[in-house]
């Protein structure tokens, strides 16, 4: 089933969006992480369409050429949350199942916690609830593990990070698992700077206050893979403490950080299970 490419205007920004699936299927909003755009969900979307679900894949702020404002502060978390709501409003989508991976997971937790009336279920891959991440970093028995896993962030917010990451045809990103096709859009002028600005805007200053997120009350599934080098077990398993509703923890053995690409079948299955609320 083919997807339809659309340009959705939210305020003064224009987002590249793909919509696919049965005309009357339940909606699924899928939010990608760093440094890939929404194409990471292509295999997941195909499977969801077969399950009768209708998908929205958004190239988020900085990843859509028409939604690439200048300045670090334009990429604050509250703006990223508002973008997702704006896309839903522009499509006249009142309710959706919410899916996020990596940075898209952080945005998804905030959407679900702050706007529970817009979402019937939440499925997050890799990224635990922000409060669980805080707990994992502070916990004496796990602090070294998650702090070590998160140490790359200081390199991402540093001056000149773009040049280092794109040097030698993006060898550092390719070693981390980014494919040549996923790397190509990052070579557009300003694209990688915009993507890195998500870190620079939200992982400096009072990080705890910036990322502070209320508990989630809608049905939630966290999908975590045990070969993830960036996000550890404690932040994933501890997320259940911040879900005040039906909660499921799904562990994928032998899968690395790139769950939407490497475990599309498993992720699609978990999303389809949450669609049963309809």
pLDDT tens digits, 3-62: 899 999 999 999 999 999 999 999 999 999 999 999 999 999 999 999 999 999 999 999
Q: Report strand pairing: 54-58 vs 27-31.
A: parallel
Q: Is 160 left (phi over 0), alpha (psi -120 to 50) or beta?
A: left
Mean pLDDT of all residues in 110-125: 98
SS3 assignment, position 201: helix
Average pLDDT over residues 239-257: 96
**What mean pLDDT is reported for the chain?**
94
Predicted confidence (pLDDT) at residue 112 exceeds the cutoff of 70: yes
First vs last C-alpha separation in the chain: 22
pLDDT at 227: 95
Looking at the DSSP bridge assignments, the partners of residue 31 are 58, 100
SS3 of 278, please? coil
Residue 90: HSE in the Cβ half-sphere, 13 Å Cα cutoff? 20
* Contact present, 256 and 225 (Cβ < 8 Å): yes
Q: Among the CATH numbers 3.40.50.11030, 3.40.50.2000, 3.40.50.1820, 1.10.20.140, which is that of 3-276?
A: 3.40.50.1820
Q: Which two tokens stand for residue 88?
A: 């839903």
Whole-number percent of the chain with pLDDT over 90: 86
| pLDDT higher than 50, residue 106 | yes
123-181 confidence digits (pLDDT tens): 999 999 999 998 888 876 655 588 788 888 888 999 999 999 999 999 999 999 999 99
Query: Cα dihedral angle (74, 115, 51, 126), rounded to 10 degrees?
Result: 60
Distances in Å between the Cα of 201 and the Cα atoms of 191, 197, 205, 231, 276 are 15, 6, 9, 20, 37
């Amino acid at each position: 089933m083919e997807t339809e490419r659309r340009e959705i205007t939210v305020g003064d920004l224009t987002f590249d969006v793909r919509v696919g699936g049965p005309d009357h299927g339940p909606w699924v909003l899928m939010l990608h992480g760093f440094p890939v755009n929404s194409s990471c969900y292509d295999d997941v979307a195909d499977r969801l369409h077969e399950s009768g679900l209708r998908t929205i894949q958004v190239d988020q702020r900085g990843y859509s050429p028409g939604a690439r404002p200048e300045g670090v502060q334009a990429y604050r978390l509250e703006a990223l949350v508002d973008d997702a709501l704006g896309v839903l409003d522009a499509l006249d989508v009142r309710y959706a199942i919410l899916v996020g991976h990596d940075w898209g997971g952080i945005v998804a937790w905030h959407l679900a916690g702050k706007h529970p009336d817009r979402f019937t279920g939440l499925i997050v891959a890799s990224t635990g609830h922000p409060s669980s991440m805080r707990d994992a970093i502070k916990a004496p028995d796990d602090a070294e593990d998650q702090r070590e896993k998160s140490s790359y962030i200081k390199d991402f917010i540093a001056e000149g990070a773009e040049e280092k990451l794109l040097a030698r045809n993006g060898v550092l990103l390719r070693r981390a698992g980014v494919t040549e096709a996923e790397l190509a859009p990052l070579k557009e002028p300003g694209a990688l700077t915009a993507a890195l600005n998500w870190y620079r805007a939200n992982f400096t200053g009072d990080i705890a206050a910036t990322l502070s997120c209320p508990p989630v009350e809608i049905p939630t599934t966290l999908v975590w893979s045990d070969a993830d080098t960036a996000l550890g077990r404690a932040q994933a398993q501890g997320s259940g403490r911040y879900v005040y509703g039906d909660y499921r923890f799904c562990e994928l053995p032998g899968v690395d950080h790139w769950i939407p690409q490497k475990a599309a079948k498993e992720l699609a299955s978990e999303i389809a299970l949450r669609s049963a609320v309809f």
